[in-house]
Amino acid sequence: MPLLFENGIIIDGENNTVTFPVGESLVLKFTFEEWIEFASMVSDANLIFEANTVVNTYACGACGTVNSTMEFEEPEEEDFN
């Protein structure tokens, strides 16, 4: 019986596949072996992304509106290779 997550991801042990919806119109389907490789690549990229991203939050003193911006500070190549 496939395992269905709330976000639409399906892990199907019978067919050895992972179905990964990306947005409304794109669905990626992987074998288990392909999934391991894909997840590793995403994990590596996310580590660099999170370590080099700064979120700045600003509040308007007059109206109280809160806005956030996200900035990526590109690391030196030797920092991630």
Give me the domain span that covers residue 60: 3-79
**Which letter does DSSP use for residue 41 in this model?**
H
Give the per-residue pLDDT at 6: 96
pLDDT tens sequence across 37-56: 999 999 999 999 999 999 99
Give the per-residue pLDDT at 28: 97
Q: Whole-prediction pTM value? A: 0.73
- The residues, any chain, with a CB within 8 Å of residue 44's CB and separated by 6 or more, are none
The total domain count for the chain is 1
**Nearest 5°: phi and psi at 9?**
-70, 140
Inform me whether the pLDDT recorded for 79 exceeds 90. no
Inform me whether the pLDDT recorded for 81 exceeds 90. no
Strands (DSSP E) contained in the chain are: 3-4, 10-12, 17-22, 26-31, 53-59, 66-72
Residue with token string 């994990």 = 43
